[in-house]
Copies of this chain bind each other. A is one copy, B any other.
């Protein structure tokens, strides 16, 4: 199943036919996949559709409006062409192509991520791509970090502090290891350090829930005490090297490893969870004012675009 550097990417699933519909992406094997997507080398994913549209536009400018992009009207002058959402009317995700890069959103949580990742892996299989890297750019809660710090993931842990993704398949639970590619994470770090000094490699806790699984007290429910919360976050930080918490990286890294594609995760920490739960904080505290949040959210995009440009 592993695809070597210069060999065409293949999925090992024996049940794949040569006629398939990528239902949630709104495309199918009838849509000239190899011609349109055969040159893809990077697939960048993030939660929000607007963020990934923004990232695509940023990249489009940075890469000098490459011809092999999916645009509204190729007869217009380059600078006036608009990137189009490839998913059309499917209505689940947004996806843009800029030269050798696909930029797509994955929504919130592992289930939403896994749907689009299954279909993207099928897309590069049917497009006969080779040497594709998957990079997730996201937001997260940091542990013991100044808000605005960039965290590049080493190993992703699930909410039970296990270094795997628990995949239920046909009624049985199977565990898949969840770790990023060493070359990719070191390359991202090197690039990140030219953009910001506040940048670390660390482990990431990836939860199937924003509130209780991440030990937040401020959801609709809370089944634990403040002391239990503090002990859990402290243990994740001290014993497991967890630097941030988000919701997709165990699933993301496990699926990429399983498919034999390189993967990296680069997230900005919007809050220090050793100090508080709420991302925006409270007005007047100076934590997470709207402008700061926007600036921080841009950091992984800028670093990722720079990495792609230089590699």
Residues of A bordering B, CB below 8 Å: 11-17, 19-21, 23-24, 30, 47-51, 91-92, 107-112, 114-115, 117-119, 121-122, 125, 158-161, 167-174, 207-213, 215, 217-224, 226, 228-229, 232, 235, 247, 255, 258-259, 278-280, 282-283
Question: Do the beta carbons of B114 and A209 come within 8 Å of each other?
Answer: yes
Question: Do the beta carbons of A222 and B118 come within 8 Å of each other?
Answer: no
Cα(A171)–Cα(B110), bound, Å: 18
Question: Do the beta carbons of A255 and B168 come within 8 Å of each other?
Answer: no
Checking B110, B212, B279 against A169 with a beta-carbon cut-off of 8 angstroms, the contacting residue is B212
Question: Do the beta carbons of B211 and A208 come within 8 Å of each other?
Answer: no
CB distance from A202 to the nearest CB of B (A): 18
Checking B91, B107, B111 against A50 with a beta-carbon cut-off of 8 angstroms, the contacting residue is B91
Question: Do the beta carbons of B115 and A108 come within 8 Å of each other?
Answer: yes
Q: Which of chain B's residues have a CB closer than 8 A to the CB of A47? A: 92
Residue of B nearest to A19 (CB): B282
Question: Do the beta carbons of A209 and B171 come within 8 Å of each other?
Answer: no
Checking B171, B211, B229, B282 against A159 with a beta-carbon cut-off of 8 angstroms, the contacting residue is B171
- Taking A11-B221, A171-B235 as given, write out 20 further A-B residue pairs in contact, using a Cβ cutoff of 8 Å, ordered by the A residue number: A12-B221, A13-B217, A15-B222, A19-B282, A23-B278, A49-B91, A50-B91, A51-B91, A107-B108, A110-B111, A111-B207, A114-B210, A114-B211, A115-B210, A118-B219, A158-B168, A160-B171, A169-B212, A170-B213, A170-B229
Checking B13, B158, B174, B208 against A219 with a beta-carbon cut-off of 8 angstroms, the contacting residue is B13
Q: Could you say which of A119, A173, A211 has the most chain B C-beta atoms within 10 Å of its C-beta?
A: A211
Ranked nearest first, the 4 interchain pairs of A and B with the lowest CB-CB distance are: A109-B111, A121-B220, A169-B212, A15-B217
The copy count of this chain in the complex is: 2
Give the dominant DSSP class at A's interface: loop
CB distance from A175 to the nearest CB of B (A): 12
Question: Do the beta carbons of B221 and A259 come within 8 Å of each other?
Answer: yes
Contact A171/B161 with A108-B107, A222-B13 known, Cβ cut-off 8 Å: yes
Q: Which of chain B's residues have a CB closer than 8 A to the CB of A23? A: 278-280
Cα(A24)–Cα(B112), bound, Å: 16
Cα(A25)–Cα(B221), bound, Å: 17
Question: Do the beta carbons of A170 and B232 come within 8 Å of each other?
Answer: yes
Q: Could you say which of A51, A161, A167, A255 has the most chain B C-beta atoms within 10 Å of its C-beta?
A: A167
Checking B109, B117, B221, B229 against A110 with a beta-carbon cut-off of 8 angstroms, the contacting residue is B109
Q: Which of chain B's residues have a CB closer than 8 A to the CB of A219? A: 13, 118, 122
Cα(A23)–Cα(B211), bound, Å: 12
Cα(A11)–Cα(B218), bound, Å: 11
Residue of B nearest to A212 (CB): B169
Give 30 pairs: A residue, B residue, CB < 8 Å, sorted on A. A11-B221, A12-B221, A13-B219, A15-B217, A15-B222, A15-B226, A21-B279, A21-B280, A24-B108, A49-B91, A50-B91, A92-B108, A107-B109, A108-B111, A110-B208, A111-B112, A111-B247, A114-B211, A118-B210, A118-B211, A158-B168, A159-B168, A160-B172, A167-B212, A168-B213, A169-B212, A170-B212, A170-B213, A170-B223, A171-B232
